[in-house]
Amino acid sequence: MEGSSGPKPLSVYLYIPNIIGYIRILMNCVAFALCFSNKKIFAILYFVSFVSDGLDGWLARKFNQVSTFGAVLDMVTDRVSTACLLTVLSQIYRPGLIFLSLLALDIGSHWMQMYSTFLSGKASHKDVKDSTNWLFKAYYGHRPFMAFCCVGSEVVYIIFFLIAERQPESVINAFVSVIQRRLFLLLLFSLALFGWAIKQIINIIQMKTAADACVFYDMKRNQ
């Protein structure tokens, strides 16, 4: 509207955290283009892109540039990059269904959580104050804990990608390979695996909670 004092659409697209989001997308594109020709470059680009999610969130709050577009951009970038890596792993390892199932759980739980958030009128899918599950509330209520689980999950996938020596590879053989290698790698993998396990539990809780919210919405609407 003419005379409006609010931010213009172009200015929102050019918010500093959103620009970082575009850079993250570009880094992921380059990473997956090189994933089979240069594993180390892929791992570096993918990891830096993922952890930059926390940086743009911090900058958004620091410069008061929080936007719905930025939040959606972050979530879509995270989900798509993880989905691409899990798809690659499903082609490297057997049974590939393990990684495809993890992909389905990740996408399904977040999509249902976003939709149930929309139905309940909440501003963010991370608003779980009314949840009765302590682990679910701890995950979304404490950023360092959530960051540990998310980063740990991605580190597990990166390690699996880096240690694959032949295709198709057995998941069990790869796991044993990690155990037999250097102590540092074993400790890193064990710590990351703990965060990965919590994140998968959260995904299951999230899907069930979101499904309940959709059912309660239908019940309330039909009364």
Q: Which residues are catalytically annotated?
A: 78
CB neighbour list of residue 14: distance below 8 Å, 6 or more residues apart? none
CB burial class (10 A; 0-12, 13-18, 19+) of residue 45?
Answer: buried
Whole-angstrom CA distances from 112 to 51, 91, 145 are 24, 27, 22
User: Half-sphere exposure of 55 toward its Cβ, with a 13 Å CA cutoff?
Assistant: 13
DSSP string, 109-120: HHHHHHHHHHHH
Coil/strand/helix, residue 202:
helix
3-class state of residue 19 by DSSP = helix
Determine the Cα–Cα distance for residues 110 and 102; give it in Å rounded to an integer.
Answer: 12
Cα–Cα distance between 160 and 157 in angstroms, integer? 5
Sequence-distant (6+) residues with CB within 8 A of 50 are 78, 81, 150, 151, 154
Closest CA to 154 of 85, 106, 203: 85
